Chains A and B, each alone.
Chain A
């Protein structure tokens, strides 16, 4: 049965990548938007850009993972195509996980392009293994959050609107452009409830030195968010149908 589940996950991920993610709308939302921000910040203040790089890479991960989730989930729900997946001999949670992993994989591709560009252009020292681990946890956590929000509503436009709320709130409160340490105390506390905060903090350490400097708090927090969003998302997903 595990083999069947893995098979189904691979099939759904490959299908979603081909039919939705690797298409102009998803690519433009997933990469053009973050790249525009990066260029804007770079042109505004080239010398201080290295400091902003971790936040902008984290933002790219957030935007790219959630770029097409509304389409992948809500559009399919509307068409009835999602039910076709649910008729397959796997659990509903397996289908949900496949949807999350497709988003995370697309996020990985987009983030890899942006990160490579930023690291090479700015000659920023980086601990690749640490960055990779943090990136994977961040991507799955963002994708699971996005998928959870998508299954709360039916229409694509409702899902897009709902997804924008945490995306933009996190950009401003998670230290992407403005350090959390400089925020008022209540906002600092609030920022602890966002996975993006831990991604930015972790990336900052990974980008500061090629030496291994394990950021346990960030890794554990991201792992916790991932597990939480996957659990509540899968439950909500199943509850929608049965």
Chain B
């Protein structure tokens, strides 16, 4: 990996009053990489993006984007970066094309190229049928696509995506993930934040896990998973749904980590497999349940996250209303 460093931070810190939102983080993102910042609500992901895009000033530490210091030269860097915030913020009173043409003008795209580029983007993002519709009349998924198109209008080489699939239905989220991969294959460096670990596992080449403003682990998804390699992972499925299955089992095998897959199925990470099986059998007998299946599997990024942070990915997703 000899590509140039496009994002570099050293001891980056942001304090709001008494709250330390970002606490001395240091990391690098290289040209052409698809890098993810993972973490629960309030971990400091959005604050980090706001600092790197010039919307917030760091309290301490250094940050460079495309070689420009974010404190003093962020305007120069902004010419080459695109930002997709968590909340779509297109202009409802403008049409889909109108929004794109405005962004082109704002970023100084030459007049002759603006319409061509806008037409290209509505085609790529499958907005052609609604290009003359007011933005307020299109669906949430389309608005998200339009927000991304706006960020791409000036052909940035570095794209920041803050929780890109939050609030989208399954089909729209899948389509958006495919688009992110496509942009990455075109050579755009992508820096995204997400709390959906399956999304990070699918998309990211490298990821940093951020908890309470601090990076607690950084590496490729395989490296992060490697941190729980050697730990037994058991998936058990019962014949009937059980309310609070994850909590009940966690109390019976406290040394293991629990990830509820649904109300009948749970992944159990770590602990002594023999004791886990005894606990599962006695739980099934006491509650009149039948164990339908027990499998041992490879750890996922969720398990790695659970192990590294001690936070439940399920609760994290619920916080965001998944």
Q: Which residues of A contact B (CB under 8 A)?
A: 1, 3-4, 7-8, 10-12, 14-15, 18-20, 79-81, 83-91, 241-242
Contacts and interface: CB of A to CB of B under 8 A. Distances in A.
Given A15-B94, A89-B108, 4 more contacts: A18-B94, A85-B106, A86-B54, A89-B79
A83 B89 contact: yes
A84 B94 CA distance: 14
A11 B106 contact: yes
A79 B93 contact: no
A18 B78 CA distance: 26
Interface in B45-85: 53-57, 75-76, 78-79, 83, 85
Contacts of A15: 91, 94, 102
Chain B interface size range = 20 to 34
B281 interface: no
Contacts of A80: 85, 87, 89
16 contacts: A4-B79, A4-B108, A11-B106, A14-B105, A18-B94, A19-B94, A80-B89, A83-B55, A84-B103, A84-B150, A86-B54, A86-B55, A87-B54, A88-B106, A89-B78, A89-B108
Contacts of B76: 89
B167 to A, nearest CB: 14
A129 to B, nearest CB: 33
B85 A242 contact: no
Interface string B282-299: 000000000000000000
A20 B85 CA distance: 23
Q: Which of A4, A81, A84, A86 has the most CB of B within 10 A?
A: A84
B194 to A, nearest CB: 19
Contacts of A241: 55-56
A165 B153 CA distance: 42
Given A87-B53, A242-B56, A11 B102 contact: yes
A83 B55 CA distance: 8
Interface in B105-137: 105-108
A89 B107 contact: yes
A44 to B, nearest CB: 40
A7 B79 CA distance: 13
Interface string B147-163: 00010000000000000
A242 B16 CA distance: 11
B78 A87 contact: yes
B245 to A, nearest CB: 38
B107 A242 contact: no
A175 B107 CA distance: 44
A84 B88 CA distance: 10
B102 A87 contact: no
Contacts of B93: 18-20
Closest 9 CB pairs of A and B: A80-B89, A242-B57, A89-B78, A11-B105, A19-B93, A89-B79, A11-B106, A81-B89, A88-B106
B151 to A, nearest CB: 8
Contacts of A89: 75-76, 78-79, 107-108
A19 B91 contact: yes
A96 to B, nearest CB: 14
Nearest to A239: B57
A90 B90 CA distance: 19
Contacts of A88: 78, 106-107
B91 A87 contact: no
Given A4-B108, A15-B91, A83 B79 contact: no
Contact of A83 (B78, B85, B91): B85
Contact of B89 (A84, A91, A242): A84
A87 B105 contact: no
A81 B91 contact: yes
A10 B89 CA distance: 20
Contacts of A19: 91, 93-94
Nearest to A241: B55
A1 B108 CA distance: 10
Contacts of B91: 15, 19, 81
Contacts of A85: 106
A91 B57 contact: no
A8 B87 contact: no
A181 to B, nearest CB: 46
A188 B123 CA distance: 64
Nearest to A238: B57
Contacts of B55: 83, 86-87, 241-242
Contacts of B105: 7, 10-11, 14
A12 to B, nearest CB: 7
Contacts of B56: 241-242
Given A11-B102, A12-B106, A83-B85, A90 B75 contact: yes
B238 to A, nearest CB: 44
